[in-house]
Amino acid sequence: MLKKPGSVFSISVSTASWICPSSALNGAPLDARASASNDIKPEQIERIRVGTNNHMPTTLLHNDPKNELQAKFSMPFSAAILALRRRAGLGEYTDEVVQAPATIAMMQKVDFYVNAEADAAGFHGLITRIDLLNHLRRRMK
């Protein structure tokens, strides 16, 4: 029996599958952020800062994705689409959504960088800070 989308399940000793349209590295951390940021409207967002360990940028290497395949390996796209739609399912990982002006504008607000605190937390370390236009900040670990 499959668990909810975004969960990891083991197929054999050496293989696992991810039930999510994006990379497993950005799926699980962003899943938690989707529910935590539901009260933030896209038009309130000035900046989204996603601090991570030094391993993630080598896999999530598309900071400016042009199509759905690149978006699956893009933290800026995943963060942007969660901010815009509050979900990141198969319907969001399409060329049309990736290339939409609203998506591109929100991705330009995302900083994806190596953060010492997140790096110290281990392989899945991630710290997200959302700066709002009213100068409030929301930080999630």
CATH of the domain at 87: 3.30.1330.120
> Is residue 25, in this structure, part of any structural domain at all?
yes
> Is residue 109, in this structure, part of any structural domain at all?
yes
> Is residue 90, in this structure, part of any structural domain at all?
yes
Q: Give the range of the structural domain holding residue 49, as residue numbers without chain letter.
A: 21-140
> Is residue 46, in this structure, part of any structural domain at all?
yes
Residue 47 has pLDDT above 70, yes or no: yes
**Rounded (to 5) percent helix, strand, coil in the chain:** 35, 20, 45
> Is residue 104, in this structure, part of any structural domain at all?
yes
Residue 2 has pLDDT above 60, yes or no: no
Q: 87 Cβ partners below 8 Å, 6+ apart?
A: 34, 81
Between 73 and 139, the higher pLDDT residue? 73
> Is residue 124, in this structure, part of any structural domain at all?
yes
> Is residue 11, in this structure, part of any structural domain at all?
no
Q: Which two tokens stand for residue 119?
A: 């790096």
What pTM value is reported for the model?
Answer: 0.75
Q: What is the predicted pLDDT for the residue at 126?
A: 82
How many domains is the chain built from?
Answer: 1
pLDDT 10s digits, 75-126: 999 999 988 998 888 899 999 999 999 999 999 999 999 999 988 988 777 8
Q: What is the mean pLDDT of the chain?
A: 78
Measured distance CA(32)–CA(30) in Å, rounded: 5
